[in-house]
Structures are given as C-alpha cells and as structure tokens.
Structure 1
Amino acid sequence: MNFRKRPALEEPEINLIPFIDVLLVILIFLVLNTTYTKYTELPINLPSANARQAQTRPQEVVVTVTSDGRYVVNQQFVEGRSVELLAAGLQRAAAGRNNLVVVINADAAASHQSVINVMDAARRAGLSQLTFATQGQAEARTAP
C-alpha cells in the first residue's frame, strides 16, 4: 500500500493559441473566397422599356427632370432645385384636383437623387400616384 500524498490535480486550461490559429485560417479562407461586386462598373442605359404606349389621361401632372437636375412641371420651369419649391409647383399644378397621376419624365443622365426629390415632393404635395415615362426599345439610342 502506498500512502504517499498525491500531488493535487491541476485545473484544466484551454490553450488559446491553437484556437486563434484556427480562427485566423478560417478568416483567411473567407476573405479569399468572398466575391466583391462593384456597382459602379455595371453597364446600364436607362430609361427604356418594351411596352405598349400608355394612353394619355387628362388627370396627370408631367414632371420633367433634365440631365443637369432642373425640374419642369407641366411645361413650366421650377425656380431652384429644392424639394420644397418642387412641392409648391406640384400643388399649383394640381389646383385642388383629386386623383392626379404624377408622370416622372426623367432624362437618362439625370441623377437618381433628382428623381427621388420628385417622388418626395409629390408625397409632400399629397399626390400619391406616380408613374415613370420611358421610351420604347426601338426609340432608344444606344450609348457608345
């Protein structure tokens, strides 16, 4: 019989160095296998659509957005480029009529923010029906 005292058992420890090594290998694997898309390199030419021509409706307000961001409401220029001025122009064009459709006729080179400003101004003016005017595929000009 052996009555000698045994040394106290040591508490088990988690060795973090191999754990960190495994995580770094997984991180490198994920970085190398991730694909990055660049939206600025997408070749698009807007707007054009292949649909039948819409019938003209007497209850519409046509908003034209030029390529440099100016606005025209029913063939009248809006002074300035702010949303408030555009909303006031839309309210004048609506003149108390209900159920008007706002037709957004934006140039293909117009900025996205200019079109969003028209949508925001229509909301502020209480006009909730929006549509976009496009040109047919046969009428579309191809960019070089």
Structure 2
Amino acid sequence: MKFRRKQRENVDINLASLIDVVFILLLFFVVTTTFTRETQLRVELPEAVTGASADDQQAKHLDLTINADGVFSLNNQILPKSDLATVIDALQKESGGDTNLPLSISADGKTQHQSVITAMDAAGKLGFSHLRMTTVEAAPPAP
C-alpha cells in the first residue's frame, strides 16, 4: 500500500512584527532610564618637596584669622562683625578687587564649623582661586 504524503506547507515567521516589538521595548528602556551626571571638583594640587618659608611667598597676601569664639580678623585687623557681608566687604577692600591674591584661612581648632564655612563662602563669592587652609604640623606619634 502506498500512502500519499501530504505536502508540507512552508512555515514562515514574519519578523516584521518581532522587530517592531523589540524596537518599542528599546525605546521604552531608553526613555525611562535615568542618567546621573556625576559632578566632580577638579583640583590641581601643587607639588612640593618641602614647605615654603614665609620669605619665599608673595609679598602681598590676605590672612583671614578666626579665633575660637568666631571673631574674624583680616591681616591682623579685627572685623566689627562676624557675618558674611562684613567678611566680603573687608576682603574686597583689602584685596582691591584682585582675586588672584593668595588667601589663607587660619582657624582655631575649636572654631565652630559655621565660621569657617562663612569665610570660605565669602572667598567663593568674590572669586578667590588661591585659597589655603593653614594648619600646624602634627606631632609624631609616641613610640
């Protein structure tokens, strides 16, 4: 007995629909993805083998000192108030508008953090770019 074979139908998969679905999924993920922009502070640190002595530094510089009670003095002149506006006015007057002068902030170890931030905020608002925080050298650990 001879059986007749059925002819096979060619089965084609329509890829156009699949491509459309994949494209829509791709668009969905691109649109719903959140990108975080990382902000970084770029700092170019100077290189030094040893610290510079006071004689080697520029002749004119600004020295903003803050004592433990939060009283400000600029180049050994005590400021009448310890607020941001007074510090900005004093820095502007003393620098003569030259923001390229080096500004050293010397704060007592027990000064409130807000006083140091006020000094740094005043320097930032005026555009000082050469800012230094002065410290004393730490004692070597005891053996």
TM-score bracket relative to the smaller structure: 0.5 to 0.7
The aligned residue for residue 104 of structure 1 is: 105
Deviation at 1:96, TM superposition (A): 3.3
TM-score (norm 2): 0.56
Deviation at 1:120, TM superposition (A): 0.7
Distance 2:121 2:114 in 1: 10
Query: Helix, strand or coil for the counterpart of 1:120?
Result: helix
1:135 aligns with 2:136: yes
Query: Helix, strand or coil for the counterpart of 1:91?
Result: helix
The aligned residue for residue 12 of structure 1 is: none
What amino acid is the match of 1:66? N
> How many correspondences in the alignment?
89
What amino acid is the match of 1:91? Q
Deviation at 1:106, TM superposition (A): 0.5
Mapped contact 1:67–1:109 kept (Cα < 8 A):
yes
What amino acid is the match of 1:89? A
Alignment RMSD (CA, Å): 2.0
The aligned residue for residue 53 of structure 1 is: 51
TM-score (norm 1): 0.56
Alignment of structure 1 residues 1-144 onto 2, 5 Å: 52-55=50-53, 56-138=57-139
Deviation at 1:58, TM superposition (A): 2.0
RCO higher in structure (CA 8 A, sep ≥6): 1
Distance 1:76 1:88, change over 3 A: same
* 1:12-55 CA distance string (max 9 Å, x none): xxxxxxxxxxxxxxxxxxxxxxxxxxxxxxxxxxxxxxx94333
Distance 1:122 1:98, change over 3 A: closer
What amino acid is the match of 2:51? Q
Query: Helix, strand or coil for the counterpart of 1:105?
Result: strand
* 1:39-91 CA distance string (max 9 Å, x none): xxxxxxxxxxxx94333322421000110001000111111111010000001
Deviation at 1:125, TM superposition (A): 2.5
In the alignment, structure 1 segments of 5+ residues that lack a partner are 1-50, 140-144
Distance 1:111 1:52, change over 3 A: farther
In the alignment, structure 2 segments of 5+ residues that lack a partner are 1-48
Tell me the percent identity. 31
Query: Bigger radius of gyration, 1 or 2?
Result: 2
Distance 1:122 1:59 in 2: 16
